[in-house]
Each structure stands twice: as C-alpha cells, then as structure tokens.
Structure 1
C-alpha cells in the first residue's frame, strides 16, 4: 500500500488505554528468537537508530543488538533523550549522518521510532546524498490540516516538556516544514504502522508515496512496544537487506511471512 490509511481522528480510546501491553510484548521477545534467527542478513552498511519522544539510546537496545547480529554497522544517535523536534538535535543529527557516511564510505540507513522517524526524515532532506533508506516505526510522518490527532494526554506531555504549543508548535518550524520534501526524495522509505497504535493514528503513520520506492506496512502490536516486537524487527531486517539501487517492496515470505500474514491480513481488523 502506498497511500495513507483511511482512518480519521485520534486513536481508538481502548487502544490508548491498553498501551501498557507493551510490557507483555517485551516479555514475549525471547519467544520470537526463532523468527529473528531466520531474518535476512545485512551487507554491513551503517545503520543509525533514532529514539522516540522521551526515549534515549537505551530504548533502542533490542534493535541495536539484533541488527548488529544480522551484520550491520549499527549506531545510536548519541544526542541524549529525545525531548521533541529540537533545532540543536536536528543540526547535530545532520552532522552525524555526514560523518558516518564519510567514515564508512557507504550510505546510511535511518531507522526512527515514533518521533525518531521525523528526525530520520529531516536527516534525509538535509543530507540526501548520504542516506540509503528510511524505516519509520509508528512515526507521525504525515500531518493533515487538522494537526496532530494524538491523544490529549500525549499532547499535554509534549506541551509540558517540549513546546508550549504541543506537537503542532514544533511541526510549524521551518526545519520541520522541510520534512514535506522527504517524500519527494529518491530514497526508499518504509513506514510501519499498527491499527492498534494508541499514540499515533494510522493516517499519520502512513504516507502517500511513489510505489516504486515508498510503502506502508501494517504490523501488529502497541506503539510503545514497536522496538521490541519480533515481527517488526524481522521486517526492519528485511527492509535494510534490500540491495542499494535495487529496492523492492515488502513481500512476506518464509517463517516471518507466515507469522506476519497470521497476525495482520488473515486476522480480523482491529
């Protein structure tokens, strides 16, 4: 699918209330080890992990260990806790991407969770010649004229910590406005979203894109558990394994594909 999800409004209240189920998803990760062991191996190119709002490098630990095991040169952003779309962090991120590209001699893949996906888009617009691909996990990559549709509690926390106008305040900044250009860049982009995400509604976590290089991939699970979800991690490995210059849309195969179809397309919509 390369068009935005048709959902409107905020996430379902029930989905927001049961976001703590992420703890169960984290606890279930060891059971997903056979699936992760079957994931595609990489070619060693550099991968930069970008945490979500209020997250830091530690929140990406499962993805970091997994992707290193799959053969990637994995880095975390090294900018401390993500306290919103801040100019200081955005500028530092651009420099980090350029340095990783220079040091390795290879383009960098960006994996952003939640708000980290917006940083990934900004990094791609600021240094497009350095970026190989983008993968977002429940990220607000598309914002309609109505503004953020995240739950009131999420907006209140963002106002308290990041910006008095909430998410819409930072999204009005010139650097954030540049993110609109990311969808016109010739860079493959995979947007993973969940219908039961209690933080970012599916219409904001998906894009209208070019089917040759853009895709929206439905995954099961909560917003807060995306970085520890074995199905999500398996798909991330598959997307990163695409040869540079020969990217193909996601096609579930093997053990991971069977589990993916069971938990999404063959399951009742949530």
Structure 2
C-alpha cells in the first residue's frame, strides 16, 4: 500500500466533488440493492450508529434501516447535531450504550461515521466491557503531524481541512475489542492514511471506493458493516471480500 501523499490540486478536486460522488454512491445503492440482499446475517444484537461532524441521525437513516432489516436492534444517538466532543455528548453516548447493554443483556456494536467513529473508539478504549465491536467509516483517528501549507477546500471542508493536510502519519493502536476501519483513497474530506490502525488478530483496515459523504449509503460499505456484525462474538475473523454474484466488483482491487 503506497503512503505517498496526494498533491494539493488532487486534494482540492476530491473535496469539491464530494457531493457529486455521494450521489453516485446513492445510485449504486439503488442499482446494487438486489445483491445486498445476499449480505451475511448473524446473531441479532444491539447496534448504535453515530453521525459525523455537524451531522445528525438523519444522515445515518439509510444505514440504520439497513441494519434493522438485518434483524439488529439499531438506534441513532438522539443527541442532535454532532458538534464535537462536549462533555454532555461523551457522557450521553456512554449512557446510551450502557442502557442498550442492560436492556438486551449483551454488549453493543458501534458504527460511527467520520467523527462518530472517533467517539466510538474512545468509548471502546474507556469501557471495553460494554462494546462488542467498533466499525468506523472514514474516521481520521490516527495521529498526524500537519504540513505547513494546507490545501484549500470549499464550504464545510474549510473548517476541517487540516484533516486532509497531513505529513507524517502513524497508525493508531488497535483497540481491545474487535475493530474495523473502513477507509477510501478517494476521500475528499480526510486523508485516508489518518483512518488506518495497526492490524492484528482483532483489528483491520478495509478499503472502499466511496467518498467521505457517501460512506453511509455506499453498497460496499453496507456489505462490510453487515458482514462485520454477523461475526460470532468471541470468534471474530478478518473481512474477506466476497467473490460471488459480482459483489467483488464493488471493492477496490488488492
């Protein structure tokens, strides 16, 4: 896997085309829905889905409906827009996970998009006894050192452009619970290298074609999340790209 950073112009192009590429993911979801019916189904268990920066539960509606249709009791965070790691938000997420665990008598899987994935990992670090696994979607949790000159962006990307302007990146340490980081080299909001963790017996990084905004509706991402949630508790195995029924075409080549 190459770690060579993209140029500033390429970064800018990815940023400004993010909305259009999200529409492409939506179209791919509609076209690929028959294939998604073949996605793995495992033991139903509670799932919490966390939205990205400045997003609310509205942004995760498609993903939550998908997971609910697979039989998992799935909820959003119900905390309004994600405006960052405020104390009430951090405590609210932990309280919600505790409530879900108590209600269902089992640990909770957490799926977090972008900043939501960072929240999910922090909770898993602090309260691993509550968390079954973490699946992050385009979450820049790895430590970075910013370059002197950040590439320009547009709109919302201006506020977080430093997430795309990285120099040296070290992979984040693996969690004590199973964790899957879904990333894309075509991410126009964060540098894909900041989404990588150390791989090991219960940790992995999985690539997709999607842009940042389209992660929650991309068919390959939905397949990955379903497959990860289907893993038996205590018997987690790394993701294997499907080879049947043309589903493999949804994923980047090795």
Instruction: Report the TM-score when normalising by structure 1.
Output: 0.81
User: Which residue of structure 2 lines up, in the alignment, with residue 101 of structure 1?
Assistant: 101
Counterparts of 2:4 and 2:115, CA distance in 1? 20
User: Which residue of structure 2 lines up, in the alignment, with residue 260 of structure 1?
Assistant: 248
Mapping 1:35-184, distance limit 5 Å: 35-146=35-146, 152-153=153-154, 154=156, 156-157=158-159, 183-184=173-174
Whether 1:216 and 2:205 are equivalent positions in the alignment is yes
User: Which residue of structure 2 lines up, in the alignment, with residue 19 of structure 1?
Assistant: 18
> Per-residue displacement from partner, 1:148-188 (whole Å, max 9, x unpaired)?
978654564359xxxxxx87xxxxxxxxxxxx9x8454201
Aligned to 2:144, the other structure's residue is in SS state coil
User: Which residue of structure 2 lines up, in the alignment, with residue 238 of structure 1?
Assistant: 227
Q: Are residues 199 and 233 of structure 1, via their aligned partners in 2, closer, same or farther at CA, if it must alter by over 3 Å? A: same
Aligned residues: 242
Deviation at 1:8, TM superposition (A): 3.1
Note if contact 1:188-1:214 (Cα within 8 Å) is conserved in structure 2. Answer: yes
Deviation at 1:53, TM superposition (A): 0.6
User: Which residue of structure 2 lines up, in the alignment, with residue 251 of structure 1?
Assistant: 240
Counterparts of 1:39 and 1:79, CA distance in 2? 30
Deviation at 1:86, TM superposition (A): 2.0
> Per-residue displacement from partner, 1:42-73 (whole Å, max 9, x unpaired)?
31110000000111111111111111111111
Aligned to 2:136, the other structure's residue is in SS state strand
Counterparts of 1:150 and 1:242, CA distance in 2? 40
- Which of 3, 11, 15 does residue 6 from structure 1 map onto? 3
- Structure 2, gaps ≥5 residues long: 164-169
- Structure 1, gaps ≥5 residues long: 160-165, 168-179
Instruction: Report the TM-score when normalising by structure 2.
Output: 0.86
Counterparts of 2:151 and 2:203, CA distance in 1? 24
Deviation at 1:254, TM superposition (A): 4.2
Counterparts of 1:200 and 1:158, CA distance in 2? 8
Alignment RMSD: 2.6
> Per-residue displacement from partner, 1:52-99 (whole Å, max 9, x unpaired)?
011111111111111111111111111111112222201111111111
Higher relative contact order (CA 8 A, sep 6+): 1
User: Which residue of structure 1 lines up, in the alignment, with residue 167 of structure 2?
Assistant: none
Note if contact 2:44-2:72 (Cα within 8 Å) is conserved in structure 1. Answer: yes
Deviation at 1:242, TM superposition (A): 0.6
